[in-house]
Amino acid sequence: MKETKLGEFEEVLLLLVGILEEDAYAFKIAEEFEAQSGRSASIGSVHSTLDRLKEKGFLTSEMGQPTAERGGRRKRIYTITNVGRNALQASRDFKVNLWNQYPGLAIDKLNILGL
């Protein structure tokens, strides 16, 4: 296993993969990211990050079914691995721990991220 640290964008994408489940492929993840965060992300940048996460062992992927709007092409569906899940958990625990030490701030901000 190479690097196991999670960057912010990586963490978000990892979460989105978990959320989208069967629909977790690059285009959808990018759409979802834009919808949820309001920031734009190109498919290429999303793909690149997914690729990196896969290399780190946080994700696996397999080819899904072809659809008409894709010109009959298949999509690559990403699935979160146990390692990935653990990494997310660790990251959350770490942050929650920090938040707990932080004097009197609304914890609900974290809910935006769907945790």
For position 38 contacting other proteins by CB under 8 A, the verdict is: no
Considering only the stretches 15-23, 37-45, 85-93, 97-105, report the one whose residues sit in contact with other proteins under the rule CB under 8 A.
37-45
Q: What is the DSSP string of 12-75?
A: HHHHHHHHHGGG-SHHHHHHHHHHHHS----HHHHHHHHHHHHHHTSEEEEE---BGGGTTB--
Answer for the pair 54, 78: CB distance below 8 angstroms, yes or no.
yes
Q: Which is nearer to other proteins, 67 or 97 (CB)?
A: 67
Interaction of residue 74 with other proteins, rule CB under 8 A: yes
What letter represents residue 1's amino acid?
M
27 belongs to the binding site for other proteins (CB under 8 A): yes
| Least spacing, CB of residue 37 vs other proteins, in Å | 17
Structure tokens that stand for 58 in this block: 């946080």
Q: Which residues bind other proteins (CB under 8 A)?
A: 25-27, 30-31, 42-45, 47-48, 51-52, 63, 66-67, 69-71, 73-76
